[in-house]
Amino acid sequence: MQGKRKAGWSRQETEYFAQCLLQAGQTGETLTHVFERVARQTGRSAGSVHNFYYAQRGADGCLRGARVERDSRVFTKEESLALLEAVMVARACGGSVRATAQRLSQGDPTQMMRLQNKYRALLRHHPEWVKEAGERLAEQGVEFCWPGGDSDSEKRSESPADKQLQETAQRLRQMQRRLRDDSRALGMMAQQAERQAKRGRQGGGIRRARTPSQT
C-alpha cells in the first residue's frame, strides 16, 4: 500500500496528522514515530509524511497550529519506569490505566491525559523499559500485572514493538512459574530429607538400646 503514489492530502488525513502532532507534544513521542504512525494510517511512505509536515508547518501551512511544542518538562527514564510500575501494580489490584493516571495527576485533567498517553507510548516504543519495570517489581516481591490484558483501556496495535513486548512478558511469566515450581519441589525435597534423617536417628537409637542385652 505504501508503494503506491497517492494524490494530495484529504481534510480527514490532515486533521488526523494534526491530532497526532498535538498528542506527541504531550507525550514526548518523537516526530519519527509520528511520521511512521501517520504513514501506516494513510497508506503513504514515511518520507512523504515527513515532507508534507515540513512543507505545511509554516505560518501559511495547514499544520501551522499543530507544530510539536513539547512540554517544558520531559519525562526522565526513572519517571517513566515509576509510571509503568504504578500502573502494573494497580492493575494487579483490579485498577485501570485511567484511574491510576487520575490518582497520579491529583485530578488535573490535562496531566491525567498526558500520563495516559505517555504510558501507551512507553508500551509501543520502549518494551525494554516495561521489562525492566517488571523485573524491578519482581525483585521487590511486589505483586503486579503485565500490560496486554483484555482491558479496553489497554488496546494496542500489533506493531513489532507490541509483539516483542508480549513475547517478553510471556517468557517472564513462564520464568516466574518455573521458579515457583522449583521452589515447591525444593521444599518437598527438603521435607523428605528431613523425615529420612529423623527416621535414621530414631532407628540408630533403637539399635543402640538393644546392644547391651545382646551382649
Report yes or no: 144 and 176 within 8 Å, Cβ to Cβ: no
Domain ranges of the chain: 11-66, 77-172
- pLDDT, tens only, 191-204: 888 888 777 777 65
Q: Using a pLDDT cut of 90, give the percent of the chain over it.
A: 8
Instruction: Give residue 87's pLDDT band: very low, low, confident or very high (50, 70, 90).
Output: very high
Comparing 23-27, 34-38, 149-153, 182-186, the range with the smallest average pLDDT is 149-153
Mean pLDDT of 140-155: 66
pLDDT at 167: 74
Cell readout for 138 is 519482581
Cell readout for 24 is 506527541
Mean pLDDT of 108-118: 83
**What are the C-alpha distances in Å from 41 to residues 10, 53, 74, 123?**
13, 15, 27, 19
Distance CA 87, CA 100 (A): 6
Report yes or no: 41 and 16 within 8 Å, Cβ to Cβ: yes
Judged by DSSP in three states, 141 sits in: coil
Instruction: Give residue 1's pLDDT band: very low, low, confident or very high (50, 70, 90).
Output: very low
Report yes or no: 65 and 113 within 8 Å, Cβ to Cβ: no
- 116 vs 25, more confident: 116
How crowded is residue 20: how many other Cβ atoms within 10 Å of its Cβ? 21
pTM of the model: 0.42
